């Protein structure tokens, strides 16, 4: 029986640049950085709390370019604090955090390749 999602992939144009963003800007940790032949690397990152990993798939072997909606939602306990800290580090947001129709506060942000993520703080 399937019991866990290991990873989801976002397409990136430069794996080293993407790795720097996720680790040094978002504060995540690198989990896997495995060569897969001469031209490929399997790289995953995850928030420090762990969980499902995000694979940084290079566009040359993913069959499509980077950017666009990923459908990936990320949770935070302090969206206003994260928004301020990440904006100060140069992370581009679609707009300021806003209250969603279901009561949560959320905002969308982009990685350097234009991959869009949904950042959500669950209403208490």
- Residue-level pLDDT, tens digit, the chain, 124 residues: 888 999 999 999 999 999 999 999 999 999 999 999 888 999 999 999 999 999 999 999 999 999 999 999 999 999 999 999 999 999 999 999 999 999 999 999 999 999 999 999 998 8
Strand order of the β-sheet with 29-35 is 7-12, 53-58, 41-46, 29-35
Strand bridging mode 115-121 / 68-75: parallel
Contact 68, 90 (CB under 8 A): no
Mind listing the domains of the chain with CATH numbers? Answer: 1-59 (3.10.180.10), 67-124 (3.10.180.10)
Three-state DSSP string of 51-98: CCEEEEEEHHHHCCCCCEEEEEEEECCCHHHHHHHHHHCCCEECCCCE
Q: What is the pTM of this model?
A: 0.93
């Amino acid at each position: 029986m399937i019991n866990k999602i290991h990873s989801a992939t976002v397409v990136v144009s430069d794996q080293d640049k993407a790795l720097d963003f996720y680790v040094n800007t978002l504060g995540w940790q690198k989990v896997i950085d495995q060569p897969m032949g001469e031209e490929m690397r399997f790289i995953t990152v995850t928030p420090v709390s762990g969980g499902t990993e995000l694979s940084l798939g290079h566009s040359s072997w993913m069959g499509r370019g980077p950017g666009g909606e990923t459908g990936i939602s990320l949770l935070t306990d302090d969206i206003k604090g994260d928004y301020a800290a990440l904006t100060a580090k140069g992370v581009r947001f679609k707009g300021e955090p806003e209250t969603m129709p279901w009561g949560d506060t959320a905002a969308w942000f982009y990685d350097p390749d234009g991959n869009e993520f949904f950042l959500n703080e669950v209403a208490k």
